[in-house]
Chains A and B, each alone.
Chain A
Amino acid sequence: MEARAALTFVPEKIEIRNLSKVFPGRPRPVVAVDNVSLSVPAGQFVCVVGPSGCGKTTLLRIVAGLEEQTSGQLEVVHQDQSKRVNSMIFQEQSIFPWMSVRDNISYGLRMRGVEKKTYEAVVQRYIAKVGLTHFADAYPYQLSGGMKQRVSIARAFANDPEILLMDEPFAALDEQNKILLQEELLRIWDETRKTVLFITHSIDEALVLSDRVIVMTAHPGRVKADIAVSFPRPREVYKLKSQPEFGQLAYHVWELLREEVMRAKELEAATSAS
């Protein structure tokens, strides 16, 4: 695989060129995404970090096809038409309250007409992976916030899309579950090598998971830096974090990000004052 990838042309899975999004806001229009260009090769794990409100969710929703850009181009290569090109893990509570955990997780498979016989095993496997075996037939109201988020993660993975779009999927989890799921994600990703666009506000998380970190500027969101993360895989969360190289890179990203977080604060103060 490695050799072939080096010899043949690897098509860019996601190609974003000069993309902007303006929302028609109430006092004045809001520029959520400003002239972003980014190309993600197939099989790359990309993390996007940036201050709150800088347009990360908007960018992801445009890639998912849930929102239309105001200007610029977006190309997403869809290879296997029998599957979905992308599945989104939403930042907010998004599992259906009227379906059991099992039915939520099988949702994508059912919608594209996979037979029950075929999907049942897949669903069972992901239920186990996110640690919800005893809650397979529970309804969401019986789950904690973190458990709901795990259902949402399993729903996207079970759907087996070509691209995973993850919007701060672990933000609502407690520390232990977060690390367990990060390791699970690393393991699944090593098996499948899907293209992933992963949004997070945690620098550590970005460096642990990704091949590449995109740092975005505060409002309006632009690409500030594009940093390669070349720690060897397979990775172990704590082992990796204990390495000096990890700390150095984390500090580098923090320096970049700190400027933007400060700027975001100033912007916020300015808007609330006016």
Chain B
Amino acid sequence: MSGPAASAVTDAPVQDQRAAVRTELRLSGKTKGQRLEQALSLFSPILLLVLWEIIVDVHLLDRRFFPAPSSIVDTFKDLLVSKELLIDVKDTLVRVLVGLVMGTVPGLLLGAAMGLSAPVRAFFKPMVAALFPIPKTAILPLIMLIFGLGEMSKYVSVAIGVVFLVLINTMAGVINIEQIYLDVGKNFGANRWQFFRTIAIPGAMPSIFTGFHISVNVCLLIIVTVEFVGAKTGIGYLIWKSWQTFSIETLYVGLVTTAFLGFLAQLGLDALRRVILPWKPEPR
């Protein structure tokens, strides 16, 4: 057991600095190629939009299903001016955020408890195992029955979609903390609370974050579905209503807005990751 650690590891600070310089050089060397790639990936969607516009213009594409981008932009402007779109976006976001908090907090606490204590885990595991696989959209009618058509049923729907993902990932994260860190905590006399705060939670954080990341995406899916059937506002409602009234441009505005929200969520998650996991370099 004493052998493998002896394999030569160079560790003079000088070498580390040299490595840092080398990385920088490599980065600046890359930029030329990177700039071309950036230009290409900016250009391709624009090309697609222009092509689309032209094809609709010459009646090659049925504008009842594929309205020209320019007409979608017009509708987008109208919806912005009438504030309708902003209200829908705001309501959807509030539902997602409240539901996220309602699902994340208990998921985190119960998941950590299940990770730390075998009896707690044994008690709750069968319930989690039985409930987790139910497709979350399948229980929406039940939730609406119980919580009515008000905002609470939206929060609960999102929360239920989130709670299991956070719980399972938190539990796995805590269980999988390497034994050596538990030994260090014990050797340095960390008490239960200190252990929880300095080892269990930070050690499980990468896994918790993964659970949260998936949760955010699932949230968007669930909220749009909920708003299809049981809401009078929200981005899902906007899409559903435009289908019913056959205002195809509005439907596209809804879709683009949803995609944009997903994009913003991704940016938010990246920023959050940098704040809570500064010690874990992003995988490339």
Contact = CB atoms under 8 A, between A and B. Distances in A.
B58 interface: no
Interface stretch (B29-37, B106-114, B116-124, B186-194): B186-194
A21 B190 CA distance: 26
A98 B10 contact: no
B216 to A, nearest CB: 22
Contact of A66 (B2, B181, B183, B199): B183
A65 B190 CA distance: 14
A96 B10 contact: no
Given A98-B205, A174-B12, A177-B11, A168 B5 contact: yes
Contact of B1 (A52, A142, A145, A174): A52
Most chain A CB atoms below 10 A, which of B181, B188, B278 = B188
Contact of A171 (B5, B184, B188): B5
B188 A111 contact: yes
Given A94-B180, A147-B11, A84 B1 contact: no
Contact of B189 (A99, A100, A111, A147): A111
Interface stretch (A35-43, A121-129, A131-139, A251-259): A131-139
Contacts of A144: 9-11, 15-16
Most chain B CB atoms below 10 A, which of A97, A131, A139, A140 = A97
A201 B1 CA distance: 11
Contacts, number: 116
Contacts of A84: 187-189
Contacts of B2: 52-53, 56-57, 91, 168, 171, 199, 201
Contacts of A107: 184, 188, 198
Contacts of B205: 98
A146 B1 contact: no
Contact of B12 (A100, A111, A176): A176
A35 to B, nearest CB: 20
Interface residues of B, number: 34
A241 to B, nearest CB: 19
A159 B185 CA distance: 13
Nearest to A140: B279
Interface of B: 1-3, 5-13, 15-16, 180-181, 183-184, 186-191, 194, 198-199, 202-203, 205, 278-281
Interface of A: 52-53, 56-57, 61, 64-66, 84, 86-88, 90-94, 96-100, 107-108, 111-112, 131, 134-135, 139-147, 150, 159, 168, 171-174, 176-177, 199, 201
